[in-house]
């Protein structure tokens, strides 16, 4: 039963009966007050007992019904109208009830992590015990018998030490030439919009460990040195980072001295004859590795292409729950002319007229659990496409774009964080933090 719709239907049907009774059978004007009140009481009762609607919904239909009855007896005295007025009023009653009820959203607003179910149950027991000692006071809302979260009240608050830095002013935005916030209020990282010293001071206390997953399969081993050398210097400098390098040629990984807070883990991986499969299977490998290892090893995880180099600091401003990078190729294109997969047969399809930014698969990440959900969902799409004999336009990048459209990133990295070397740099790109390495595609993928 769709409980919400029934809330409109019941009063309309009831009101129809009221009107009918009023005009055809009883023809006693006073009854027009009594019957709708009784009926409305029933509606309200059903509303509160069955449908989880607030008590005020008893009051609204009763008052409305009183007005209906009054109008019927005192003012109009036209029997036919008794059908119409209660129906309209009942429609209003139903409509008033709706905003208080949560409608099932067409877009998921919360993703339930099935692995957390057992945790929720144990928290419920604790809370119930704690509240059972309180006296029963009827007019005070008691906590739901099903608590949905538990806040650790004993957690030590993070205090950052006194620092000297330029004062921020609300009427002096740091940048006026670029979008600083998405429509869902996710900040977009641009040079000149944040103070890295403040961020570092906050971040250091949290002692997070960040993982970076990158792949160097077949001829892409040639990019390892440039990637690791620059990442060692510029990627989360001074913070703990584990680089996880997947390769089919572990023996070709150059020996490199990394900063003390950085570690390199080399993980053998098979190769595939098609470069597209190497790229797409990254999603599956990352998802599996999170479940078996990374879940216990790192707090945040980022996936990065290997054929890149870093030229400026990429710091803790990239840390958030779900992070996407806006593609340097398509950051000004209208949504209908960029590279989304639009064929409805593909699981990566985004309907025409939809789309926020075009995200690059070369750099995305977030908390380990969010990246797990993302990679699992994207690879499921890849697998279903394979079974249906279709491959998305830009492979796993298309699936990533679909995912990030319906699971909005909590933070966005501007194209500074992946600038394609082939493009001329416009003024708004004040720094090129990370850039692709020029390559002969045919040669390197052969
Ligand atoms: C785009 C995406 C890339 C991926 C690809 C899929 C950007 C900037 N990059 O890059 O993330 O979605 O399209 O079409 O949006 N690899 C190997 N060996 C190979 C081939 C690939 O190790 O033989 C790995 C390597 O880590 C590489 C990554 O896969 O960085 C992506 O491949 P690519 O860089 O050749 O793909 P590209 O430049 O078309």
Measured CA to CA, the distance from residue 336 to residue 353 in angstroms comes to: 6
Residue 108 Cα to ligand 1 midpoint, Å, equals 30
- Helix (H) or strand (E) run with residue 93 in it: helix 81-97
| Residue identifier of the C-alpha nearest atom 31 of ligand 1 | 279
pLDDT on residue 158: 83
pLDDT on residue 389: 98
Q: What per-residue string of b and e applies to 28-39 under the rule 16 or more CB within 10 Å gives b? A: eeebbbebbbeb
The percent of the chain in helix, strand and coil, each rounded to the nearest 5, is: 45, 15, 40
The answer to whether the CB of 417 falls within 8 A of the CB of 363 is yes
For residue 397, indicate whether it is catalytic. yes
Q: What is the CA radius of gyration of the chain?
A: 30
Residue 405 Cα to ligand 1 midpoint, Å, equals 21
Residue 245 Cβ contacting ligand 1 at under 6 Å = no
**Candidate list 341, 397, 421, 442, residue with the active-site label:** 397
pLDDT on residue 390: 98
Residue 445 Cα to ligand 1 midpoint, Å, equals 10
Q: Determine the length of the chain.
A: 446
Residues in the chain where the model's pLDDT stays below 50: 1-3, 52, 97-112, 114, 116-136
| Residue identifier of the C-alpha nearest atom 30 of ligand 1 | 305
| Residue carrying the six token digits 């883990």 | 265
pLDDT on residue 127: 37
Q: Summarize pLDDT for 318-329 with one digit per residue, the tens.
A: 999 999 999 999
The structure's pTM equals 0.71
Measured CA to CA, the distance from residue 15 to residue 7 in angstroms comes to: 13
């Amino acid at each position: 039963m769709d409980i919400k719709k029934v809330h409109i239907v019941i009063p309309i049907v009831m009101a129809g009966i009221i009107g009918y009774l009023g005009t055809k059978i009883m023809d006693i004007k006073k009854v027009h007050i009594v019957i709708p009140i009784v009926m409305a009481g029933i509606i309200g009762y059903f509303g509160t007992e069955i449908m989880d609607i607030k008590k005020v919904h008893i009051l609204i239909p009763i008052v409305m019904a009183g007005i209906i009855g009054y109008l019927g007896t005192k003012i109009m005295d036209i029997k036919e109208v008794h059908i119409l007025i209660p129906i309209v009023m009942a429609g209003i009653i139903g409509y008033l009830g709706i905003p208080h009820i949560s409608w099932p959203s067409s877009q998921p607003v919360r993703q339930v992590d099935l692995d957390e179910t057992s945790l929720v149950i144990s928290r419920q027991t604790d809370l119930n015990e704690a509240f059972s000692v309180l006296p029963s006071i009827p007019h005070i809302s008691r906590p739901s018998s099903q608590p949905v979260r538990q806040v650790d009240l004993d957690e030590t608050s993070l205090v950052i030490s006194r620092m000297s830095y330029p004062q921020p002013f609300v009427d002096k935005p740091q940048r006026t030439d670029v979008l600083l916030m998405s429509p869902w209020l996710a900040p977009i990282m641009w040079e000149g919009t944040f103070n890295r010293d403040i961020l570092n001071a906050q971040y250091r206390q949290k002692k997070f460990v960040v993982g970076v997953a990158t792949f160097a399969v077949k001829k892409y081993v040639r990019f390892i040195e440039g990637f690791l050398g620059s990442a060692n210097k510029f990627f989360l400098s001074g913070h703990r980072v584990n680089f996880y390098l997947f390769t089919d040629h572990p023996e070709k990984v150059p020996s490199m001295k990394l900063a003390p807070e950085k570690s390199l883990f080399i993980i053998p991986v098979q190769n595939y004859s098609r470069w597209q499969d190497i790229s797409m299977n990254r999603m599956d490998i990352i998802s599996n590795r999170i479940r078996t290892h990374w879940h216990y090893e790192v707090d945040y995880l980022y996936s990065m292409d290997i054929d890149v180099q870093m030229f400026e600091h990429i710091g803790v401003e990239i840390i958030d729950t779900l992070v996407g990078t806006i593609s340097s190729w398509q950051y000004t294109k209208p949504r209908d002319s960029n590279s989304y997969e639009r064929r409805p047969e593909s699981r990566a399809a985004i309907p025409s007229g939809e789309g926020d930014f075009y995200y690059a698969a070369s750099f995305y990440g977030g908390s380990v659990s969010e990246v797990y959900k993302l990679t699992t969902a994207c690879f499921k799409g890849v697998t279903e496409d394979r079974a249906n004999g279709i491959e998305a336009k830009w492979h796993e990048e298309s699936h990533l774009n679909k995912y990030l459209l319906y699971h909005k990133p909590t933070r966005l990295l501007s194209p500074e964080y992946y600038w394609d070397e082939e493009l001329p740099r416009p003024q708004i790109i004040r720094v090129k933090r990370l850039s692709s390495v020029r390559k002969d595609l045919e040669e390197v993928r052969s």
